[in-house]
A and B are shown apart, each in its own frame.
Chain A
């Protein structure tokens, strides 16, 4: 069965520090991978997506993610974190199942940013 694991429930970083959020997936075929961000009281906003091709993908708000097939990982990175990046981050795998587009979400990583 497909699954997505985000090993870190909470992460705290200082403003200006670099960030890496981990995501591991279990999926037999080539995955479609997504990172979403959820600010407090808001819905989920798409940060970036990977379908094929270049394994390093750029997203909004200065985020990037690297797909590593050998490690079944799709880690999210940002070189310098801003206080406004404090939010919850979700990794997801997309696939077609039973004729519909299905997203499988990880449990999320909550990011806190110290000034």
Chain B
């Protein structure tokens, strides 16, 4: 019963490098999300995908791109990493659009950019 799986768990990058964070869910959920977590700021939404084939910007999308590869997978790409993108990144999924459904979270990717 994996739920939401994120890879890698840790990564260190140099400024200007690119990388892709992977997320997969095995719950047949329709909607998927990428958040970043910074001290004292809770979680902020970067991008979301309401359903397969759609993606939209969240609260803090600058410097990121996403791909909803299929219903299971939703990746987050940093094209040119900056120190301000040092953070913990969480992927989440939910069955559908109803507001009373809780989101299911992965264990996070801890990303440091030097």
Contacts and interface: CB of A to CB of B under 8 A. Distances in A.
A49 B45 contact: no
A101 B98 contact: yes
A36 B40 CA distance: 16
A47 to B, nearest CB: 10
Contact of B97 (A45, A101, A107): A101
B74 interface: no
A45 B106 CA distance: 9
B99 A101 contact: yes
Interface stretch (A12-20, A62-70, A71-79, A92-100): A92-100
A18 B23 CA distance: 38
A3 to B, nearest CB: 11
Interface of A: 4, 9, 32, 34, 36, 41-46, 49, 51, 90, 94-96, 98-103, 105-108
Contact of A105 (B42, B56, B104): B42
B17 to A, nearest CB: 24
B103 A103 contact: yes
A94 B100 contact: yes
Given A41-B108, A95-B99, 16 more contacts: A4-B42, A9-B40, A41-B107, A43-B106, A43-B108, A44-B92, A94-B99, A94-B101, A100-B48, A100-B50, A101-B94, A101-B96, A103-B45, A107-B40, A107-B42, A108-B40
B50 A44 contact: no
Nearest to B40: A107
Interface centre among B48, B50, B56, B105 (most CB of A within 10 A): B105
6 contacts: A34-B102, A41-B107, A44-B105, A94-B100, A98-B56, A108-B40
Contact of A90 (B4, B42, B48, B101): B42
B3 to A, nearest CB: 9
B90 interface: yes
B106 A32 contact: no
Given A106-B42, A107-B41, A108-B42, A100 B97 contact: yes
A32 B100 contact: yes
B25 interface: no
